[in-house]
Amino acid sequence: MIAPKIKVENLNAWFGTKQVLKNINMEIKEKAVTAIIGPSGCGKTTFLRCLNRMHEITPGARVSGKVIFNGINIYDKSVDPVMIRKKIGMVFQKPNPFPMMSIYDNVAIGLKLNGVRDKKTLDAVVRRSLELANLWDEVKDDLNRSGVSLSGGQQQRLCIARALAVEPEVLLMDEPCSALDPIATAKIEALIRKLAENYTVVIVTHNIQQAARISDYTAFFYLGELIEYGSTKQIFENPKHELTRKYLTGEFG
């Protein structure tokens, strides 16, 4: 039995006095795509942000329970959240390249902040990360261009390259295609499937068809609770819970 990459135990989360996650327990498999689905306001994004300690950045936000990553509870007092966010990277809903930076510097920034100065090392990592993000061939002759001069889909792949440059083990993606057209979406979806060969990917999506297309496992959240979790095939073809069935058939959501 392969140990899960991330094991969530009795996870609760609050914004001030409002509880937004209630006693979540689930195991996230290594080198697979796990989709988090559910109606707006059900806690999907909060759950994602709890997986790399980004939730606590929000004033008044707090968490209880455990998130076990590679055998270590990331919420232990001895654990550095900065190191966790390096190993568990995040790609946001809206592409957010750094506006005053070139394509090259957008990818290299994480390494530079970690003290890497060697030009050969930076060049190699920038190229590798852009290749992994399926963007190298489109930008290789123009790396000094501003990152924000790229199209929306290219910007999102640039942000994925930026996340990959610091060598994470897990990639969290919060609605990475919601701001993109169908062609750019198809490219990101193909990229996610390819990345799952080497990385553990967790994606929040409002697009049920997208979850069906690209994920290996699906978790359905409703009102802060995990209602059902299993293989995507099982969830979509034979949901065990009536709420799951109603959401997937469009009876609410």
Pairing between strand 72-73 and 18-28? unpaired
Is 90 within 8 Å of 162 (Cβ atoms)? Answer: no
Q: Is the pLDDT of residue 253 over 70?
A: no
Q: Cα(162)–Cα(91) distance, rounded to whole angstroms?
A: 9
Please tell me the number of Cα atoms within 13 Å of 9 on its side-chain side.
11
Q: What is the mean pLDDT of residues 40-48?
A: 95
Residue 3: predicted pLDDT: 74
Tokens of 226: 């995990």
| 76 dihedral zone (left: phi>0; alpha: psi -120 to 50; beta) | beta
CA distance 36 to 171: 13
What's the gap between Cα 50 and its chain centre? 11
Q: Is the predicted pLDDT of residue 1 greater than 90, yes or no?
A: no
Tokens of 81: 């959240």
- What is the predicted pLDDT for the residue at 176? 95
**Domain 6-248 fold:** Rossmann fold (3.40.50)
- Cα–Cα distance measured from residue 237 to residue 109, given in angstroms and rounded to the nearest whole number: 44
Section 10-33 average pLDDT: 97
What are the residue boundaries of the structural domains of the chain, listed by start?
6-248
Query: How remote is the C-alpha of 39 from its chain's centroid?
Result: 18
Per-residue pLDDT, 252: 75
Backbone angles phi, psi at 5, to 5 degrees: -70, -40
Q: Is the dihedral of CA 14, 4, 69, 202 positive or negative?
A: negative
Provide the pLDDT for residue 114: 86
* Cα–Cα distance measured from residue 134 to residue 147, given in angstroms and rounded to the nearest whole number: 15
> According to the model, what pLDDT value does residue 117 have?
92
Categorize the per-residue pLDDT at 25 as very low, low, confident or very high, splitting at 50, 70 and 90. very high
How many Cβ atoms sit within 10 Å of the Cβ of residue 1? 3
What would the pLDDT profile of 163-196 be if each residue is shown by its tens digit?
999 999 999 999 999 989 999 999 999 999 999 9
User: Whole-model pTM above 0.85?
Assistant: yes
Q: Which amino acid is at 87?
A: K
Q: Is 202 helix (H, G, I), strand (E, B) or coil?
A: strand
The CA angle 73-75-78, to the nearest 5 degrees, is 85
**What digits encode the pLDDT tens for the residues 48-95?**
999 999 999 999 999 999 999 999 999 999 999 999 999 999 999 999
- The count of other CB atoms within 10 Å of the CB of residue 73 is 15
pLDDT > 60? residue 39: yes
